Amino acid sequence: MKKITIILAFMLCLTPVFAQKHSVVLGNVSGSESQQWVMMLKSSILQGLTSTGRIDVTDGQSVSGLSSNTAEALVQLKETGAEYLLEAQLESINVETEYLNGKTYYKAKTQFAYQLYCIADGSTAYSNRDFHYGNSTQDRNAAISESFGLVDNDIKAMVNNVFRVTAEIKAINETHPKKGIVSVYLGAGSNDGVAKGNIFEIFKIMEVAGEKITEKIGEMKVEEVKTGSLSMCKVTKGGKELQDCLDNEIPVQVTSRPPKDILGGINNVLNSL
């Protein structure tokens, strides 16, 4: 059974938070290793930020006189209107060699650290330390280069954790007598960095003892990005619960979920063997 129903905003969210791009300045990228690798880290971070589609990125080098000191840089950036300052460190590179069957195998382990600061108040919005492996039979540098391959994934994970996309259900596209709501149109699209396969969590908003709380009732997956501000999503969990909420005018909120880093975790385990 298929039907398209326009949903009034007040039925869906008590205080709608519309998806928007956030501004991030990439500030000091440092490390005691060769400048070649520090610059590779910076390039990989910029690539990761840009590829999400959710961030307006500024290279700190383009900000006149931007200090490498975090506290000073935060004060300077308040005048620019930017929201966040991202800094990173290349903490260590270790390369081991192994001789097997007449060949030399190079194995690199590289450790990175990231800090994201809110410019308005100087608070830390995100802090993480990651390490990745690289392998090569060519030479030491080739192994190190390979270890940088997942840096953009680190940055994407940061963006998905910190900059969630919260949007309204604009219309119901398809329902099922037993499954409830099967698919919907979500008010977020390519302008918000939404892509096919993204997962959104569905929460119902309740008032308990005078306080508003949320309870997860399901999930939806982006099947097709229609426009800059609209996507078609398949409800993968909680279709009946979502139907009950809308039928009873219980407000709901739909928020993006960070992807599970299954592949990255597997790669690190395999490379560590």
Residue carrying structure tokens 């990761």: 48
| Residue 193 structure tokens | 């960095």
Report the pLDDT averaged over residues 70-97. 94
Region for 210 from its dihedrals, namely left if φ exceeds 0, alpha if ψ lies in -120 to 50, beta otherwise: left
State the alpha helices, DSSP H only, in 13-116.
Answer: 35-51, 70-77
CA 52 to chain centre: 7
Report phi then psi at 272, rounded to 5.
-85, -10
pLDDT tier, 78 (very low <50, low <70, confident <90, very high otherwise)? very high
Residue of higher predicted confidence among 127 and 153: 127
Contact predicate 199/216, CB 8 Å: no
The terminus-to-terminus CA distance of the chain in angstroms comes to 52
Instruction: Tell me how far apart the alpha carbons of residues 195 and 202 are, in angstroms, rounded to a whole number.
Output: 18
The yes-or-no verdict on residue 18 having pLDDT over 50 is: no
Q: Is the pTM of this model over 0.75?
A: no
Q: What single DSSP character describes residue 191?
A: G
Residue with tokens 């928020």: 255
* Residue spans per domain, the chain: 2-19+165-256, 22-163
Which one, of 126, 28, 5, lies nearest residue 76 by Cα? 28
Share of the chain above pLDDT 70, in %: 87
Higher-pLDDT residue of 194, 106: 106
Task: Write out the CATH class of domain 22-163.
Answer: alpha beta
Q: Tell me the C-alpha distance between 201 and 221, whole Å.
A: 9
**Distances, alpha carbon 57 to alpha carbons 46, 49, 65, 150, in Å:** 8, 7, 18, 19
Confidence band, pLDDT 50/70/90 cuts, at residue 58: very high
b (16+ CB within 10 A) / e for 31-68 = bebeeebbebbbebbbebbebbebbebbebeebeebbe
Six-digit token string for 60: 């700190």
According to the model, what pLDDT value does residue 260 have?
Answer: 59
In this prediction, residue 140 carries a pLDDT of 94
Asked whether the predicted pLDDT for residue 81 surpasses 90, the reply is no
For residues 70 and 144, what is the distance between their CA atoms, to the nearest angstrom? 28
pLDDT of residue 217: 95
- Which of 173, 156, 181 minimizes the C-alpha distance to 46? 156
pLDDT of residue 267: 44
